[in-house]
Structure 1
Amino acid sequence: MPAHVSEKAKHHILDTIAAMVSGSRLKAGKLAIKFIQTQGGTAECQVVGSKLLTTAINAAMVNGFSAHADETDDSHAPSFTHPGCAIVPAALAMAERENASGEGFLRAIVLGYDVSSRIARVMSLIPCQLQGFSTHAMGPLFGATAAAASLAKLNTRQVRHALAYTGQQASGITSWPRDEEHVEKAFVFAGMGARNGVTSVVFVQQGFTGEDDIFSGPNNFLDMFCPAKTELPKWIDNLGSHYEISAANIKKFSVGSPIQAAAEAMTILVSKYGLTCDRVKGIDVHLPPQCALTVNNRSMPDINCQYIVSVILLDGSLTFKACESYERMSDPKVREVQSRVNLIGDPKFADQERQRPGLVRVHLTDGQTLEEFVPAVRGTFDNPMTRSDVEAKSLDLLHDILGADRAKTLIDSIWDLDRLKSMQELRHLLSA
């Protein structure tokens, strides 16, 4: 595995683990932990952010819930997925169960992203959306299976059977945007895929058999769900030379992907010009049309563009706490500023839904207009984060729960994963 791919994998592992730890204190994570407390099971794996040990299947699910309890986790724009929040919890659980090395874990993560993204690519975004199928659910499900199968060291026939059980569990419909508390969404994007992927592998470990190829023959997975299945050979051909994790994005801000560029642009304007509320008459935010629709005055703070832009102006920056604060959404000061924000689905960005650019125009009370355009926010493929960027984001998410010293030790352990003899060594750093 090339060194730059290994480094990128470490970035996404750290980013996802930080999302798990912080998400364990949010509603979806807390409910999942509460549920697992009633389930018992063999003490195989750590439930992140708790003192609990449970089965690999249970741990994968609850840690998946925590990883996508909000909008902190990574994304992969070309496949329209959030791969890390399902793949990393599944791989972490199986790595603990199998007492795998850090190097084996790294390789499994890279494989998981490769499989997830290729499956979701051939599902094809627009036809799938029209049918109501969710790429966010199905791509990472197969990625979670691949990562877990790698760590379980299944043979070729066993991998085929694990994929067969995964195909039978493929589900997820695009009704999830109606979930107003990010709990069902956490299940669809993460908990379900992580759980089902590990379940497929554990089934096969116990001797379960199935069909040899879920991707061919009558009524196969590709026929059912993948309108662009004819493109699959080209994606298979570049396995081992093109690594999909290299195209994945890490969020600079803990908000929905469509808001990232607008948040960056607003942060730049506030910092550059020392903007305060009394100087601002109005704010126009231009996003791609579908992106604007997704984040238009939503009931959740981290996917409400007008709210996020308003708190940046009020606070001068954007913190994780502000992104999660339902209380501030009802603050009269925030609501007044929010009334000045005009969100526009701009037709000129209609062909850039995946790139998700953002243009912010601030109209001042003295008649001036200030403008900032962000074509690629920090953390995207075109403007990637450095190791220090990822570490700074992760420390902000980890330190309140783990403490500064333990958070730094965990981060250092992720950077040294390729030298870690057993993934079980991380347990004491992940409990809280």
Structure 2
Amino acid sequence: MEIQQTLTKYISEALSHELPKETQNNTRFHLLDTLIAILTGRLLPPGRKGFEFSKNQGGPKEATLLGNDIKVSAINAGFGNGMAAHANETDDTHTNGRFHPGCAIVPGTLAIAEKQDLNCTDILKAIALGYDVGVRITTSLGYKTPKTTTFATHSLGTIFGCTASAGALLKLSHQQCNYLLSYTIQQASGLACWNRDPDHIEKAFVFSGMTTRNAIYSALLAKENFTSVTDPLLGERGFHEGFAHNPRPELIVSELGKKFEIDHSSLKKWSVGSPVQSMMDAIEHLLKNNEFSHKDIKELTVEIPADRYHIVNDREIPSISAQHLIAVHLIKKTMGYEEAHDVSLFNDPDVVALRKKIKSISSDELAIARPERQSKITIILNDGKKLFYHASSVRGTPDNPMDADDITEKAKRLFAVFKSSKTDDLIDCVLNKDFTIKDLVQLSNLDIK
């Protein structure tokens, strides 16, 4: 009970705690990064479906479906924006937590912030809190690798993180935060079979749409004093007993308020799946440092960590297919939104021809290498010349972090699809201004149909 009470008390008091300046800046980076993901994700099937579904569900006009001015209930706004946030694989990640925090925590925070008409300070504090809670919950379960559990850490981390953010913004009391935790536990779900989804729609639902919706629902129930059992987290037949493999409950509150997990999260430089990030770094390096054309390539070998090989090897979803993305990057010599998500490129003759020259290797060595998600690419040219690069530290990870210039460059690169100067104002507002939720909603209105 002591661990649960420490956690719920921390959530109830989170808005009264000051964030270190570095953490504030990092939170702004992750907020902007998720807005990029939501707005560009609105153009893809998961985002379009989430938008139409939420618009049709409607409800009290509490929060906006970002990208235009349509207001629905906070629950439906969280769901629709959450579906968009994981549509195009540009959302952030937390390697140790084994989930994508921003795609649920940020949409949930913004939905409740708009419902409550809140300001910059509260929004940033709530987002950072969500990362702290979500990461601590998943790491406490003791899953050795993503392949050792049938449960989806990608949904468990996000629902707990998002529910903490929503609960803090609703200013729940300590007792209400215990209710909050119990209803979140009852709604915790998601199985790792998401990685067989060929269309990225169920995947977006598991990662963020479902979890944002359920988290907001839990927070609203707690606000209305729906009572609960007293020890759902670590008690008999509770959360840890049902979900943990090698439980380490002490991690749930370890360094809470001292170590801020958003400072240890990763931003993606590229709009592609996490395991492919290092491969894109490698191709960028090889293109910048060598004179060659894709037509000069005789064969290419990519070594992929064994524990992530099944996620990206020769997949049918363009944005997470290692072979496809390597081929497109080499041919186009860039990897922006359109290169990553233009489905027609999947059957482009040049891309198909180059893809056939790419051999993949499942590497046990890279699976245990640290930092995680490394890759190695070897290219043999027609003249026999050998090119090699080992991407050992992925750009955007805590070991090789992106700065304000990097996140601005990424935003401009992906926002270019909208051809609107309004996106420059949104970038500046998030990174530099004492914004309100109304500012974010207004600047995000790009009249996306």
**TM-score of the pair, normalised by structure 1:** 0.96
Output the CA distance in 1 between the equivalents of 2:125 and 2:289.
42
Cα contact 1:255–1:302 (8 A) shared by 2: yes
Answer yes or no: is 1:411 the counterpart of 2:427.
yes
Shift of 1:400: 3.0
Query: What per-residue deviation string (whole Å, max 9, x for no partner) do you get for residues 346-400 of structure 1?
Result: 2221313871101111101111111111111110110000111011111222243
Counterpart of 2:7 in structure 1 is: none
Alpha-carbon distance in structure 2 between the residues aligned to 1:293 and 1:68: 19
One-letter amino acid of the counterpart of residue 444, structure 2: L
Q: Which residue of 1 aligns with 2:346?
A: 329
Q: Does residue 367 of the first structure (1) align with residue 384 of the second (2)?
A: yes
Output the aligned Cα RMSD.
Answer: 1.5
CA distance in 1, matches of 2:414, 2:295: 32
Structure 2 counterparts to residues 376-395 of structure 1, below 5 A: 376-395=393-412
The residue identity in structure 1 corresponding to 2:202 is: E
User: What is the SS of the residue equivalent to 1:50?
Assistant: coil
* 1:115-174 residue CA offsets vs partner (Å, 9 max, x unmatched): 000111122333774341000001110000000011111000001101110000000001
Counterpart for residue 242 of structure 1: 259
Q: Contact 1:78–1:354 at 8 Å: present in 2 too? A: no
| Cα distance, 1:51 vs structure 2 | 2.8
C-alpha distance in 2, partners of 1:397/1:127? Answer: 32
Counterpart code for 1:291: R
CA contact (8 A) 1:46 1:430 kept: no
Shift of the 248–227 alpha-carbon distance from structure 1 to 2, 3 Å rule, reads same
- Cα distance in 2, alignment partners of residues 181 and 11 from structure 1: 29
Say yes or no: does 1:430 pair with 2:430.
no
Q: Which residue of 2 aligns with 1:344?
A: 361
Partner of 2:49: 31
Superposition pairs for residues 49-60 of structure 1, below 5 Å?
Answer: 49-60=67-78
Query: CA shift at 1:314, angstroms?
Result: 0.8
Structure 1 stretches of 5 or more lacking a match? none
> Structure 1's 128 and 122: CA in aligned 2 closer, same or farther, altered over 3 A?
farther
Which residue identity does 2:423 align to in structure 1? Answer: A
**Pairwise CA distance, 1:227:** 2.3
1:182 aligned residue (177, 200, 211): 200
Partners of 1:335 and 1:117 in 2: how far apart? 39
User: Does structure 2 retain, via aligned residues, the 8 Å contact 1:290–1:353?
Assistant: no
| Alignment-derived partner of residue 155 in structure 2 | 137
Which of 271, 292, 311 aligns to 2:328? It is 311
Residue of structure 2 aligned with 1:6, choices 24, 36, 50: 24
- The correspondence of residues 216-231 of structure 1 with structure 2, limited to 5 A, is 216-229=234-247, 231=248
Q: Is the 8 A contact 2:38 2:86 kept in 1?
A: yes
The correspondence for 2:293, drawn from 272, 276, 287, is 276
CA displacement at 1:405 relative to structure 2:
2.1
- Deviation digits for residues 187-221 of structure 1 (CA, Å, limit 9, x no counterpart): 00001111111111111222322123321321111
The CA distance in 2 between the partners of 1:345 and 1:391, in whole Å, is 34
The question of whether the paired residues in 2 share the 8 Å contact of 1:75 and 1:81 is answered with yes
Read off the aligned partner of 1:405 and give its amino acid letter. S
**Cα distance in structure 2, aligned partners of 1:311 and 1:415:** 32
Distance across 2 between alignment mates of 1:219 and 1:128: 24
Match of 1:99 in 2: 117
Structure 1 pair 28–354 and aligned structure 2 pair: CA distance change class (3 A): farther
Contact 1:123–1:135 (CA under 8 A) maintained in structure 2: no
Q: Deviations 1:59-118 (Å, cap 9, x if unpaired)? A: 001100000012110000011100100100000101111111110000001100000001
SS state at 1:344 partner: strand
Structure 1 moving runs of 4+ over 6 Å? none
Separation (CA, whole Å) in 2 of partners of 1:40 and 1:307 = 39
Conservation of the 8 A alpha-carbon contact between 2:143 and 2:244: no
Residue identity in the other structure for 1:410: L
Seen in structure 2, the aligned counterparts of structure 1 residues 378 and 300 have a Cα distance that, compared at 3 Å, is: same
Letter in structure 2 aligned against 1:355? E
